[in-house]
Structure 1
Amino acid sequence: MGSSRKGMMNVLIAAILWGSSGVCAQYIMEQSQMSSGFLTMTRLLFAGTILLTLSFVHGDKIFAIFRHRKDALNLLIFTLAGALTVQLTFLLTIEKSNAATATVLQFLSPTIIVAWFALAKRVRPGLLVIIAILTSLIGTFLLVTHGDPTSLSVSAAALFWGIASAFAAAFYTTFPSTLIARYGTLPIVGWSMLLGGIVLLPFYAAQGSQVAITGNLVLAFFYFVVIGTALTFSLYLKGAQLIGGSKASILSCTEPLSSALLSLLLLGVTFTLLDWLGTLLILSSVILISLDSRRRVKPGL
């Protein structure tokens, strides 16, 4: 199998697994009455430990960042405003609505990123980006109102946390680039997750005694943390490395589609025609932004 095809397969599998992990989170919360905060805490603690272990085995100097005060401070900022916030707001959106809606709303983050950079640098966005922003706004409108501006098809809380999740994902994607360039992806993401979980411990650790543990829940949690976080993250990184970020972004659009289909098949969540249309419009905005970024990096453009 060629490296390009292998990279595409890695990203596709990662996107599908990511989509399924949101469905798994919904199942865990529904079956155990576990709060989104407690599930976020445990996911961050376990996933952070796994990623740091993989990083250490890989030969990374995982403690190097703590020798530099400024970088350690930036890691703390990334932990609080990035890893912790993006995970917590995503699971809160699932708790208030469902996995499919939460995943689609989080996919507004590429539009937020390009709009922010256009404003911050006072650069007029290209035609593809303008169309992408419009399609994402129309898609969100259809998804949350079903075309009727006087009513919401999702709760106000779900909409708030879903939009917050998109902003957190935008920050999570853009902020740590300098840290990752210096120390590597696995150490930075691993530490941000582990530290984020530790920050949540005083608030949610006591809820552990209230969770009824069953065999099915243990298996679901294992899948959620190990398969849906650590393995998926590794697959996506390897795939993006082989085919480039733009292609990876386009292929990752299978994540919300897999989440919607699995929610329909496994959890009985129903998507109306307007829900599907809104979803496809938001996903098309991601594709347009990816195409625009590929066009800009070509020689002579």
Structure 2
Amino acid sequence: MMDRSAKSTGFLLVITGATFWGVGGTVSQKLFQDYQIDVNWLVTIRLLIAGLLLLAVQYFKKDRSQVFAVWKNKKTALQLIIFGLLGMLGVQYTYMASINHGNAAVATLLQYLAPAMIIIYLLLRRQTVLTGRDMVTVSLTLIGCFFLLTNGSVSQLSVPSPAIIWGILSGVALAFYTLYAVPLLKLYDSLTVVGWAMVIGGFALSFIHPPWQVDTSTFSAEVYGYLIFVIIFGTMIAFWFYIESLKSLSPQETSLLGSLEPLSAVLTTVIWLHEPFGVFQWVGTASIITMTLFLAWSKEPSTRKKRNTKKSINAG
């Protein structure tokens, strides 16, 4: 059975990462609405800078040989490129595209179908069995996200089909991002994996939306402060902690606890941006908090089942 202190660390990492992720989204919304910052420019610049900073931490504070060692093996190099493009950039771009065609509530709700997608995928691959624990946590997650982001109004889901398609693809990208990282993390430190994935994603997007074409001379000190928060806390630390948690938590647990992102986003929007908060949104908040506590304290799957699941993932 996994060491309890390691599991507690995993919970702390994913909760902190998801919280920063959500708050970073609220800060990004303020940049878009109040300062007309281009969405594509922000995605590109946050990935490039955050990625380079993570690689710098790895190089100067930890095992510097890992920074370039990942490229010496053709298999891991290819896996890293795929992870950077389909995982890191995939999550970022599809989410923003869904918002662009619809709204942030629907985009986030559809993205957090990822936990259910992961469990269904593992069931189809026969890497796990459906348990009551899975059914409870997935149900609480979906109910919580629905009420939290729609306040119980189904009419808010009436968005153009492109928004729904991009939102579902965002959920698929998040599920892929969570599962695909596991084998890489067994070989390299999370700083190396996440850092290079961000650089790869940001570099690829630069060909479509060159970051140097934006005039930054009009940026105020406040804008730079918000940008620093989004890049450091909402991107660098958020993605790093999320991936690092996979070393001590299962992909299902990490993705479910990641649903704290919309919770933190909504709460900061209410407190900071003074948006109204309805009764059903409090019901959604309670559902997500209940899911988190249930996941933290419920009995873990047997050691044998977890061992078989990990073995299957590594073989995939």
Deviations 1:247-269 (A, max 9, x none): 87776554332211111122233
**Aligned-partner Cα distance in 2 for 1:141–1:238:** 28
Answering whether residue 189 of structure 2 is matched by residue 163 of structure 1, we say no
Answering whether residue 200 of structure 2 is matched by residue 191 of structure 1, we say no
Partner of 1:31: 34
Q: CA RMSD in A?
A: 3.7
Equivalent positions of 1:231-246 (< 5 A) are: 231-233=237-239, 244-245=248-249
With 263-272 and 83-92 compared, the bigger mean Cα shift is at 263-272
**Aligned-partner Cα distance in 1 for 2:249–2:214:** 42
Answering whether residue 45 of structure 2 is matched by residue 42 of structure 1, we say yes
TM-score (norm 1): 0.79
Q: Is the 8 A contact 2:83 2:181 kept in 1?
A: yes
Partner of 1:262: 268
Deviations 1:145-185 (A, max 9, x none): 76566x33463455443332222111111112222211221
**Which runs of 5 or more structure 2 residues have no equivalent in the other structure?**
307-316
Partner of 1:63: 68
**Aligned-partner Cα distance in 2 for 1:249–1:170:** 8
Q: Is the 8 A contact 1:84 1:193 kept in 2?
A: yes
Equivalent positions of 1:115-134 (< 5 A) are: 115-121=120-126, 124-134=129-139
**Which runs of 5 or more structure 1 residues have no equivalent in the other structure?**
none
How many percent of aligned residue pairs carry the same amino acid? 29
CA separation of 1:283 and 1:116: change in aligned 2, threshold 3 A: farther
**Aligned-partner Cα distance in 1 for 2:147–2:19:** 24
Q: Is the 8 A contact 1:146 1:153 kept in 2?
A: no
**Aligned-partner Cα distance in 1 for 2:257–2:150:** 27
Equivalent positions of 1:39-188 (< 5 A) are: 39-57=42-60, 58-60=62-64, 61-95=66-100, 96-98=102-104, 102-103=107-108, 105-121=110-126, 124-139=129-144, 151-153=155-157, 155-156=159-160, 157-188=162-193
**Aligned-partner Cα distance in 2 for 1:97–1:4:** 38
- CA shift for structure 1 position 271: 3.9
TM-score (norm 2): 0.76
One-letter amino acid of the counterpart of residue 223, structure 2? L
Deviations 1:80-128 (A, max 9, x none): 1100011222334455424x66555433322211111112228651122
CA separation of 1:130 and 1:26: change in aligned 2, threshold 3 A: same
One-letter amino acid of the counterpart of residue 273, structure 2? L
**Aligned-partner Cα distance in 2 for 1:16–1:284:** 16
CA separation of 1:112 and 1:19: change in aligned 2, threshold 3 A: same
- CA shift for structure 1 position 231: 3.6
CA separation of 1:115 and 1:94: change in aligned 2, threshold 3 A: same
One-letter amino acid of the counterpart of residue 29, structure 1? F
Q: Is the 8 A contact 1:144 1:153 kept in 2?
A: no
With 262-271 and 279-288 compared, the bigger mean Cα shift is at 279-288
CA separation of 1:108 and 1:119: change in aligned 2, threshold 3 A: same
One-letter amino acid of the counterpart of residue 114, structure 2? S
Answering whether residue 48 of structure 2 is matched by residue 18 of structure 1, we say no
1:66 is paired with a residue whose SS is coil
**Aligned-partner Cα distance in 2 for 1:238–1:134:** 26
1:34 is paired with a residue whose SS is coil
CA separation of 1:47 and 1:80: change in aligned 2, threshold 3 A: same
